[in-house]
Amino acid sequence: MPFKMVFSKKYTVKLRAHVFRADKFAAALKLLLKSNIIKPEDIAEPPRPSRRDLELAHTRRWTDKLLKSRLTAEDEALAEIKASKEVVEAHIMNVGGTVLAARLALETGLGINCGGGAHHAFADHGEGFCLLNDIAVAVRKMQKEKKIKKALIIDLDAHQGNGTAAIFKKDKRVFTFSMHQEALYPEVKEKSSLDVELRRGTGDRRYLKALKEHLPGVFKRSAPDLVVYNAGVDVYRGDRLGGLKLTAAGVRKRDEMVFAECFKRNIPAVLVLSGGYAAGSGDTARLHANTMKAAIRLLGK
């Protein structure tokens, strides 16, 4: 491999009776190891981000609440997650993972965080199982270090990337593109640079047609130095929270289209995995693994 796969065992925490299975990332990584796509020495442990890093995208008050374990019942209800110290640490380390993946992408053309994608986290609060927006922190960190000027965030999770859209709302250097299912969480949508809403039951043909129509224009309008691809697999037809009904082959084609657009333009790409809630947890892990395989395969062409 010309690059490292980013992962930390701290990503994996137990969430009792919760639809989000934090162990899916480790399971997806195990599939890549089993198929010899990567070797143990290819896995890079991310450094823990500093308070200053977190505050690139989050308010001091929200950062304080997380670092000092002072979330209220209202905070947890809004985020729909019980924020134990282990859960908060998992979110913090996922931020570190996406920051490291961004660095690796700029060095090698591709950076993969086998986790991440907490696109519902706002600057001052968490939502939708997300406490910290790793995507936003990574982009701001690369901008601060003057490694990039402009970024494109392609969010193809079934749910709108509302937190990411809100954080970058007034930043013309960051183009946010979210293609998601209408009438699905979040109930109140934010305004991305471009939002494309699809009907429940869209399926492979219509989904891929819409993506093909919009991707080239998004690249042209954003002229990015870096792409962050939020590749949620809750678009899959077996997902419990999404209803777009793509087949596994359709999800794989979606991913290939995104990576092909990045690599043919020689634009470094960061991959984060985000949502996925298939009835069989093994299905979610396989879908995430397929996404990573597509990235690795296309980079080598």
Q: With contact defined as beta carbons under 8 Å apart, do 217 and 260 qualify?
A: no
Higher-scoring residue by pLDDT: 301, 102:
102
Angle between helices 248-264 and 203-222 (to 10 degrees): 20
- Give the domain extent around 291: 5-299
User: What are 114-151's pLDDT values in tens digits?
Assistant: 999 999 999 999 999 999 999 999 999 999 999 999 99
Q: With contact defined as beta carbons under 8 Å apart, do 120 and 134 qualify?
A: no
Q: Check residue 217 and give its pLDDT.
A: 98
Single out the residue of 94, 169, 162 nearest to residue 134, CA to CA. Answer: 94
Q: Confidence band (pLDDT; 50, 70, 90) for 54? A: very high
Per the structure, the count of domains in the chain is: 1
Per-residue pLDDT for 284 more than 80? yes
Share of the chain above pLDDT 90, in %: 94
Q: Check residue 23 and give its pLDDT.
A: 93
Q: Check residue 299 and give its pLDDT.
A: 86
Per-residue pLDDT for 1 more than 60? no
List the strands of the sheet with 269-272, edge to edge. Answer: 43-44, 5-6, 110-113, 269-272, 226-230, 151-155, 174-181, 194-198
| Residue 273 belongs to domain with CATH number | 3.40.800.20
* Residue 58 appears among annotated catalytic residues: no
Q: Confidence band (pLDDT; 50, 70, 90) for 277? A: very high
pTM of the model: 0.97
Q: Confidence band (pLDDT; 50, 70, 90) for 301? A: low
Strand partners, 178: 155, 195
Q: Check residue 29 and give its pLDDT.
A: 98
Q: Check residue 2 and give its pLDDT.
A: 63
Active-site option among 58, 91, 120, 288: 120
